[in-house]
Each structure stands twice: as structure tokens, then as C-alpha cells.
């Protein structure tokens, strides 16, 4: 099948498929006499595996590791368990950070309950005060692979 067909069958964008090829998550496809990429069942299955991992918010490096482990089907799965345990811990840390953010935003939101001019808005004043006291930018709550939708 051609790249457009693979994209349609997997719900994955053509550019994403090309990117996954470029970074080695998908093996290079064969080319036909017209130099079109020709994908097979292996590409289809592997792309679905990658997409499922991405839906679980796994990084490209984590997926690369899992793909390498799949190539050694007889070895023990302790490395898979360890990878997943680390991923779960990372998610728990992000959830705690998001809960803290929610608490701070709720507290800030409770500071203004009316329709005042912005110059009197307790939220704006609170944000300005926090920026002056702290002096440092807020910690980002995402990690490297949440920004990309690959």
C-alpha cells in the first residue's frame, strides 16, 4: 500500500509516518518502479503499536526501547516492566504538579468575585504580586514529548 493508504488505515498523518521513518521507528519501505513508497503489513502493525504507545503518552525514546525489546521476544520482560514503572511514576509526578497548579489557580480565582475594572482586579494584582515576590518563571508542567503530537 502507498503512504496515503497507510495513513488512512492507521489514522496517522502522512508527515508523521515520514517522521517516524526518519527517526527509525518505522523501517524504510520498499520503493516501486515509480519510486513510490510501498508499505506492508509489518509497517501497518508497527505503526499501530507506535500510535498506541503515543496514546499512553510514551516518549519516542520509550517507544524505541519497546520496539528493540520486541525484537528479542525470548528474553524476560523485566525491562518492559521497569520502563512502564518509570513512566507511571513520571505521570504521578505530573499529576501532582497539575493538582498543585489547580489549587493555586483556585485560590487565585477566589480573590475576585465581581465585575470590577481590571485595575482593581484582585486576580491581576495577585499575579503581579506573585511575579514580584518570586522573581522566577513558573515551572513548566509538561515534558519533552507532550508538545509533539507524533
Residue 18: give the domain boundaries.
Answer: 3-70
User: What pTM does this model have?
Assistant: 0.75
- Angstrom distance (rounded) from CA 65 to CA 83: 9
Q: Which three cell numbers stand for residue 44?
A: 501497518
Q: Assess whether 63 and 95 both reside in one domain.
A: no
Q: Residue 101 falls within a domain, yes or no? A: yes
Half-sphere CA count of 6, side-chain side, radius 13 A? 27
User: Mind listing the pLDDT tens digit for each residue in 38-91?
Assistant: 999 999 999 999 999 999 999 999 999 999 999 998 989 999 999 999 999 999
Q: Assess whether 66 and 20 both reside in one domain.
A: yes
Q: Assess whether 63 and 10 both reside in one domain.
A: yes
Q: Residue 45 falls within a domain, yes or no? A: yes
Q: Residue 96 falls within a domain, yes or no? A: yes
Domain termination residue (choose one: 21, 40, 70)? 70
Number of domains in the chain: 2
For residue 34, the SS3 value is coil
Residue 80 · residue 66 · CB < 8 Å:
yes
User: Mind listing the pLDDT tens digit for each residue in 91-116?
Assistant: 999 999 999 999 999 998 888 888 88
pLDDT at residue number 141: 46
Q: Assess whether 50 and 92 both reside in one domain.
A: no
Q: Assess whether 24 and 55 both reside in one domain.
A: yes
pLDDT at residue number 134: 55
Q: Assess whether 124 and 96 both reside in one domain.
A: yes
Amino acid at each position: 500500500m502507498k503512504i496515503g493508504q497507510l495513513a488512512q488505515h492507521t489514522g496517522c498523518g502522512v508527515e508523521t509516518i515520514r517522521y517516524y521513518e526518519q527517526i527509525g521507528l518505522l523501517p524504510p519501505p520498499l520503493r516501486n518502479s515509480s519510486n513510490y513508497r510501498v508499505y506492508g503489513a509489518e509497517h501497518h502493525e508497527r505503526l499501530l503499536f507506535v500510535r498506541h504507545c503515543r496514546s499512553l503518552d510514551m516518549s519516542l525514546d520509550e517507544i524505541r526501547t519497546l520496539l528493540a525489546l520486541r525484537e528479542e521476544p525470548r528474553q524476560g520482560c523485566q525491562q518492559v516492566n521497569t520502563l512502564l514503572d518509570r513512566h507511571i511514576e513520571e505521570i504521578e509526578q505530573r499529576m501532582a504538579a497539575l493538582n498543585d497548579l489547580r489549587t493555586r489557580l483556585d485560590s487565585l480565582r477566589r480573590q475576585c468575585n465581581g465585575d470590577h475594572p481590571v485595575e482593581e482586579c484582585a486576580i491581576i494584582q495577585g499575579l503581579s504580586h506573585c511575579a514580584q515576590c518570586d522573581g522566577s518563571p513558573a515551572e513548566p508542567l509538561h515534558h519533552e514529548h507532550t508538545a509533539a503530537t507524533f
